[in-house]
Amino acid sequence: MTTIAELPAGFADKVLSAQTTFRSVMEAMARPGSVQRVIASVDTPPHLMRGTAAIALTLFDHDTPVWLDSMLAETTEVKMWLKFHSGAPVISDASVASFALVSEGAALPQLDCFAFGSNEYPDRSTTVILQVDSLMHGPQYELSGPGIDGRAILQASFKPNDLFERLAINVALFPRGIDVVLVADDAIVAIPRTTRCVGYGG
């Protein structure tokens, strides 16, 4: 059993690390498809990438129930780390989660198990943080929507392959919907519910 003293540390400087990480996430959300970097240094528990850990420390707390994919949920150290550093309740019911952490894209469940929010309160939705192989290399995805000047090209390699097809539910759901943050090590890309994939090149 891991003791608290043995848990990987959180941010070295809580205030400024959270601030810089937030600005990267905000920039990513404001400019979908653009690759932003997490610069804060953070020790990570097993299966969590640096970017994911930093986002968790920046945005999670007592008020944000978090859903974990099965690999994370089965890793005690991850749950202890989250509990100790953020205090966020880990829940098994994805439909009331503020955030979902998906360490391995193949394990992403059907999106309709998450919260979409309501038409009155579309903000009461789950933000999915999805770890991927690369946000530098791989097929090209052409994106459009608010935050994008015309078209943006995202070159990335991720599972599930049909992520953008699945995210197409956001079109019909809007203003309800799912916002996704893709993480590859310290790189992050956000795909908010307004972003559309309009082209694909292998």
Partner 1 sequence: MNAPAYNFAYLDEQTKRMIRRAILKAIAIPGYQVPFASREMPMPYGWGTGGVQVTAAILGPDDTLKVIDQGSDDTTNAISIRKFFEKTAGVAATTSTLDATVIQTRHRIPEATLHAGQVLVYQVPIPEPLRFLEPRETETRRMHALGEYGLMHVKLYEDIARFGHIATAYAYPVKVNERYVMDPSPTPKFDNPKMDNCAALQLFGAGREKRIYAVPPYTKVVSLDFEDHPFSRYRFDAPCALCGSEDSYLDEIVTDDKGGRMFVCSDTDHCESRQAQGHRGTESAAPHKEARHG
Contacts with partner 1, residue ranges (CB under 8 A): 14-16, 18-20, 22-23, 25-26, 29-31, 58-61, 63-64, 98, 118-123, 125, 127, 146-150, 174-175, 177, 179, 192-194
Closer CB to partner 1, residue 121 or residue 200? Answer: 121
Shortest CB 188 distance to partner 1, Å: 12
Shortest CB 30 distance to partner 1, Å: 5
- Provide the β-strand partners of residue 51: none
Closer CB to partner 1, residue 86 or residue 103? Answer: 86
Closer CB to partner 1, residue 71 or residue 148? Answer: 148
CA distance 125 to 76: 26
DSSP code, position 145:
S
CA distance 70 to 175: 29
Shortest CB 54 distance to partner 1, Å: 13
Closer CB to partner 1, residue 61 or residue 162? Answer: 61
Is the sign of the CA dihedral 107, 176, 116, 66 positive or negative? Answer: positive
Specify the 3-state DSSP secondary structure of 6: helix
Closer CB to partner 1, residue 59 or residue 187? Answer: 59
Shortest CB 177 distance to partner 1, Å: 8
Shortest CB 24 distance to partner 1, Å: 11
CA distance 154 to 104: 20
- Provide the β-strand partners of residue 42: 11
CB-based burial, 157-169: b 16+ in 10 Å, e otherwise:
ebbeeebbebbeb
Angle at the Cα of 33 from the Cα atoms of 29 and 36, rounded to 5 degrees? 65
